[in-house]
Amino acid sequence: MQLREAAVVLGVHYQTAYGWVRQGVLPARKTGRGYEVSDDDVAALAERRASGTAPRPQIRVRDWDAQADRLHAAIVAGDETLARHLIARLARGVPLTDLCERVIAPALARIGEDWVAGQVSIATEHRASAICERLIAARAHQPQGRPRGIAVTATPPGERHGLPALMATASLREDRWLVHHLAFDLPVAEVRQLALDTRADLVVLSATTADAAEAARQAADEIIASAPGLHVLASQAGDTLTRLRHLARAVADGAGPAEPHG
Ligand code: B12
């Protein structure tokens, strides 16, 4: 249906529906006549609105770096309450994917630099990343309603950086995927079997280091060889959650990469 009709169905002004399209809340296809949206997506959004998980008004953050700086200071100090308040305030108007990508990941990257420079201890780094894990996990709810598809998230063997996989889970759930989050460092056969058992459409393997990216690529090849039809996305350096969602949607729309991405 056209976006104008969708706005009527959803009981909102056209500009509101248009805003949701811009923010990725309501998937749409640009046509010569404007935007076209699927009946299923409109129904799913109507259901989310009815169940109280409706999209919030978005706020424009002027200075993401300053937000990341504040979070960095809080997690280095181990001040979980302050970190929780910072994230809670932003989460009122910022999608979780943006919070992960633009605030939490940069704060963590800075901790990595601090650690290399000998300015923070390993214990401080662990405390900071554990705080971030709890902040994200508390918001990474499984949405209600018909999912876009089923995904399994994990890291390849040997990769103990679990936060990117958690962020992938949060971001895909925000995009209406049903996600089985397996955390980190799993044998490939286990990931593959769970994906088959849950009839998953997609396996996402997150990696932080170059070695782990290579392990993810190998794992992807292994899974695809033994379970044809299962799509696997393996992250590589510089990947983003926005790209992940884009690739995952291509899988859900049936135009997914036949080859492992990586
Ligand atoms: C926290 C942390 C840890 C924690 C992890 C805890 C946890 N629960 O995750 C612990 C303490 C376990 C750890 C261990 C180690 N770490 Co460490 N760690 C970090 C740190 C500070 C943050 C990692 C993080 O979460 N980053 C934020 C992530 C989310 O950002 P990102 O990688 O860009 O991910 C994005 C994309 O991948 C995307 N995404 C996610 N999934 C997917 C999937 C697909 C398909 C796509 C498209 C996109 C996508 O989403 C993310 C957000 O944008 C980094 C510093 C840094 N620069 O990141 C060092 C860092 C990664 N660690 C490093 C090192 C060296 C190690 C150790 C080897 C240290 C040691 N000597 O023991 C071990 C390795 C352990 C192992 N075998 O894996 C180095 C790696 C250097 C390198 N390039 O190889 C870094 C860069 C620190 C540094 N500056 O040197 N670490």
Give pLDDT, residue 139: 95
The reported pLDDT for the residue numbered 229 is 87
Find the distance separating the first CA and the last CA of the chain, reported in whole Å: 35
Location of structure tokens 């002004």: 13
Question: 66 alpha carbon to ligand 1 midpoint, in Å?
Answer: 22
pTM of the model: 0.84
In three-state secondary structure terms, 211 is: helix
Longest Cα pair distance anywhere in the chain, in angstroms?
58
Distance 179 CA to ligand 1 centre (A): 21
* Confidence (pLDDT) at 22: 81
Taking alpha carbons only, the member of 98, 101, 104 closest to residue 86 is: 104
User: Position 159: which residue type?
Assistant: E
The predicted pLDDT at position 256 comes to 60
Residue 21's pLDDT is 85
What are the structure tokens assigned to 100, written together?
Answer: 């992960």
Ligand 1: distance of its center to the CA of 218 in Å?
Answer: 19
12, 207, 210, 217 from 158: Cα distances, Å: 49, 10, 12, 13
What per-residue confidence (pLDDT) applies to 56?
61
The best mutation among 179, 208, 239, 259 to test binding of ligand 1, ranked by most ligand atoms within 8 Å of the C-beta, falls on 208
pLDDT at site 54: 59
pLDDT of residue 135: 97
pLDDT by residue, tens only, the chain of 262 residues? 999 999 888 888 888 888 888 877 888 888 887 889 998 888 888 877 776 565 665 667 889 999 999 999 999 999 999 999 999 999 988 999 999 999 999 999 999 999 999 999 999 999 999 999 999 999 999 988 889 999 999 999 999 999 999 999 999 999 999 999 999 999 999 999 999 999 999 999 999 999 999 999 999 999 999 998 899 999 988 899 999 999 999 999 886 654 555 5
